[in-house]
Amino acid sequence: MSVDYEHVINDAICQGEWDVVYAKARQWSEQADCGPLPYFALNVVCMLRGDFAEAWKIYPRAFGEEADVQLLQEWMARLRVQGSDAPDFLLFEGVFYTQSGRMEEAVASYEQVGALAPHSPYPYFFLAQIYQAKDRIDQAVKAYREAIKRDPSYVAARLKLGVAYQDQGQLEMAIPQYREVLKLRPDDAFGHTNLACALAEQGKIEPAIEEYKKALQIDPHDAEVYFALGGLYENKGRLDLAKRQYEEALRLEPNFAPAATAIGWFLYDKGQDDFAMDYFSRALKANPDDAQATFGVGRIYEEKRKPELAVQHYQRALSLEKDPDKKMRILNFMDKLLG
């Protein structure tokens, strides 16, 4: 006997039975020609759980084509007939509006949920993400705090609140949120990574190194964490350890341009220009706008007494570089070369 997955999931959505939604949507997604509906349901539940990496992995299966959006819109219409006043339906619909770019309608849906289910943290959580995307950080912070007030154990809201504080430079406010996340979920790799980043910004390098190590024990396949850890080792002058982290980042993600650039500079500083050029070229193949790789190529051309090529690369690096100190360094080499 075949299962009417849409009917079962619709009932579960209107009752707020998200574990049932997830389980049935997973089964539905295994059926041939299932379309975008089960993937959108999975995406929503992952968002509610705070599993953003999985949510965005699923997202293209729900919104890959314009026709998918139309099918989802029609699903929302059928759901509305069944549960137009159900706060969990309105929440589900709000996520659809958010992910299809209809932000005003999304905000209206979340505000309705807040009125109908005043103890639910979810509408505030999703409102906060809209505010954060619009760079309205003060409003995002307020909404995340409202979500946490309703559910102090809501890990995803605490993580996002920490990020919002960190974006404002309020590290003393961000760090307690990350520590609370790790009390609630000690094996949360993002919690350790975010705490490490905030500690590093405070200049607390050794504690930051330890947090990055903990993150890698939980998820040893995160190239960006290896790269960040390498940067801290380099900051401490532990160059061999730094290079090892950069190499591991590049092994995990062969097109990770920042790691290739960092290794290129290590080799350049050791006088191994040809090997350095290989890594700078690898970085630029992955990201043609890598300012420091472009600058590195210019330095090698200058040492090979090819001033015209060196100046071309310095000029391009200067146009790409955003960091004022690094721009000044490039300018200094240009001035020396041009006399």
Q: Tell me whether the CATH fold assigned to 186-254 matches the one assigned to 255-339.
A: yes
- CA-nearest of 294, 213, 209, 298 to 257 is 294
Number of H helices, E strands in the chain: 20, 0
Q: How confident is the model at residue 3 (pLDDT cuts 50, 70, 90)?
A: low
The SS3 of residue 272 is coil
| Topology classification of domain 186-254 | 1.25.40
pTM of the full predicted structure?
A: 0.87
Indicate the domain borders of the chain.
Answer: 186-254, 255-339
For residue 60, give both structure tokens: 């293209």
Spell 246-284 as b/e; 16+ CB within 10 A means b: bbbbbebbeebbbbbbbbbbbbbeeeebeebbebbebbb
- pLDDT tens digits, 198-251: 999 999 999 999 999 999 999 999 999 999 999 999 999 999 999 999 999 999
Asked if residue 1 has pLDDT above 50, the reply is: no
| Topology classification of domain 255-339 | 1.25.40
Residues 155 and 184 sit within 8 Å (Cβ to Cβ): yes
The string of DSSP codes covering 101-142 is: T-HHHHHHHHHHHHHH-TT-SHHHHHHHHHHHHTT-HHHHHH
